[in-house]
Amino acid sequence: METKALYIHIPFCDHICSYCDFAKVYYREEFVLQYLERLKEELDTLPHHPMETIYIGGGTPSALSLNQLKMLLNSIDPFVGDGTLEYTIEVNPESATLDKLETMHLHGVNRLSVGVQTFDNTLLKRIERYHTSSIAKEVVRNAKAIGFKHISIDLMYGLPGQTLEDVKEDLQIALSLPINHLSYYSLILEEHTRLYDNYEPLDEETEGIWSDYIVETLSRAGFHRYEVSNYALGNHESYHNKVYWHYENYYGVGIGATGKIDDELISHSRSLTDYLQGKNTIYIEKETLEDTMFNHLMMSLRLEEGLDLDEFKRRYHHAIEEVYKEALSKNLDNHNLVIENNHLKTNHTLDLLNSILLDFLPE
């Protein structure tokens, strides 16, 4: 399978948030410079042709200084061309200055993902974020003025002490801004994060009520829920993330990054020290056909459009009915799943996904 997507991980952050489990470290100038050199070496090992989609994620890519950002974008330039449909950078509001945004746009970046989390200043402080509501709004408006085609924000619900009224307020502000994509995550804490011990997660019923409110409000404003946590206006769905959900190939570079090339899942160690010393520790896991089929199903059922059954048969030479005979008939009979336009999809309830998938797990 052709590989048309590239993910680049920038692990540096100006501060470490109490809820975060991503591969990240504190920003240190000397580390950043070495990291960018290693990253260029790693990028040089990839075939130099334009990718259809590029995603620079973090950590906090906008934590880089303007010059460091230019170094990074120069290293990625060989992968940008006429065939590049989407080029995304994740930014944090407090470091997404106008000059950085303009530089990104000049290098062909056409999609910005702004980590807002909430527009409530008290909640922002409580989760140890360093921006304010007005800075977040200004960044989105600047992005629009500069001409970014796709503007997305990340919000989270279930924050400590957050109420449904706060969620309503966040949605109202979000919808007043010139965005065309929104990722709305429910806060999930891993055990080793600082916030874990002092956090009471939402109970299932409340989570359901909030989630329904979010879906309905966004839908009324024209934002359709195309994936469990993602909403888009018109055709502004994230092309890059759909590569993951369609279980297509992608390269991943930088610490903690993962890639998938055919039946190989490639993951990088999270060790910055190793990476800076030129030891690019990579783990390769070879998938069995059974694993690949299950992972493809699992990823695609996250999408509202579901799993493309023609594509499934084309890739694995088996029809879905042959592979998952019992699980499929059980979940079609109880209406948890439906087949529409030759796509297998969850029946209006993306939220039941985990329990449905248990039936399909390989033995």
Residue with tokens 């998952």: 324
Return the number of the residue (185 or 213) whose C-beta is nearest ligand SAM.
185
Which one of ligand SAM, ligand SF4, none interacts with residue 16, CB within 5 to 8 A by kind? ligand SF4
Q: Two tokens at 50?
A: 């334009």
SS3 340: strand
Q: List residues near ligand SAM by CB under 6 A.
A: 19-22, 57-58, 60, 90, 92, 115, 117, 154, 156, 185, 187-189
Closest C-alpha among 207, 248, 247, 203 to residue 229: 207
Angle between helices 133-146 and 98-106 (to 10 degrees): 30
Q: Residue 49 CB, nearest distance to ligand SAM (Å)? A: 27
Q: Residue 176 CB, nearest distance to ligand SF4 (Å)? A: 24
- Looking at the chain, the number of H-run helices and the number of E-run strands are 14, 17
Determine the Cα–Cα distance for residues 202 and 216; give it in Å rounded to an integer.
Answer: 19
Asked if residue 31 binds ligand SF4 (CB under 6 A), the reply is no
Residues 139-178 that bind ligand SF4 (CB under 6 A): none
Angle between helices 29-44 and 66-76 (to 10 degrees): 10
Determine the Cα–Cα distance for residues 183 and 116; give it in Å rounded to an integer.
Answer: 10
Q: Residue 296 CB, nearest distance to ligand SF4 (Å)? A: 28
Q: Which stretch binds ligand SF4 (CB under 6 A): 55-63, 72-80, 142-150, 277-285?
A: 55-63
Q: Residue 199 CB, nearest distance to ligand SAM (Å)? A: 10
Return the number of the residue (19 or 275) whose C-beta is nearest ligand SAM.
19
Which one of ligand SF4, ligand SAM, none interacts with residue 189, CB within 5 to 8 A by kind? ligand SAM
Closest C-alpha among 302, 292, 307, 299 to residue 340: 307
Return the number of the residue (50 or 160) whose C-beta is nearest ligand SAM.
160
Q: Taking a C-beta distance cutoff of 8 angstroms, is the pair 123, 165 a contact? A: no
Kindly write out the interface string for residues 232-271 of this chain, putting x where it contacts ligand SF4 by CB under 6 A and - elsewhere.
----------------------------------------
